[in-house]
Structure 1
Amino acid sequence: MGLVLILQGPLALKAFFIPKFWVIFGFMAGITLIVYLVSYFGIKKGGENQILISMGAVVIRLLISLIVIVFYVMTNKIDPILFVINFFSIYLSFTTFEIYCLLLNLRHQIKK
């Protein structure tokens, strides 16, 4: 997020960002938080369903993201390559953060 603020602020490289970038960023932050919480409580619950809960949450996140992609592209005239670069950089950074946090929780669960 800091890199985006730097690039949009003093450097004024707004040509590298899609319109309403912060709306997409906020949406991805919200959906990642929800998926993380569902996965976290699924891991804490334990049992046979913890993997199904975690994978189900990730699949639902992907499907909701695809719906948002279609809606955004249909309502805005944008450069498709710029949109793909922006969206997937956000998506992959939030996915990396989510997996890192879940792995930390699994590590603590295994050490107990």
Structure 2
Amino acid sequence: MVANLCLTHDNSPALSDIGSYRRLIGRLLYLTATRPDIAYTVQQLSQFVGAPIEAHMSAAHRLLRYIKNAPGQGLHYPKNGSMQLTVFSDSDWATCTETRKSITGFCVFLGSALIS
């Protein structure tokens, strides 16, 4: 997404084909299993599957362009390596301007491979 872009529910007209937005977000959610770099953006876009507007679809198309231009990104699991488990986490209390909810995140590594 564009830096500092805040997607919101506003009074803009809804998309004419909400189903296409829902299918796209569903596919992107599936893709986050191997592309954690898009997880935050997909999470933000998935908040609007009930009533998406053109700005939401535009942001989703921008994400698709990013994925297309970065084909080598994703998770890679080495065949041989360390079996040490390492965990990192972060949280930000009540910063979502839309819902005032907290945002948290974590990543778990097995050796050098990201597993969650």
Please indicate, yes or no, whether the TM-score normalized by the shorter chain is above 0.5: no
**Structure with greater strand share of residues:** 2
Q: TM-score, normalised by structure 1?
A: 0.28
Bigger relative contact order (CA 8 A; separation at least 6): 1
**Structure with greater helix share of residues:** 1
Q: TM-score, normalised by structure 2?
A: 0.27
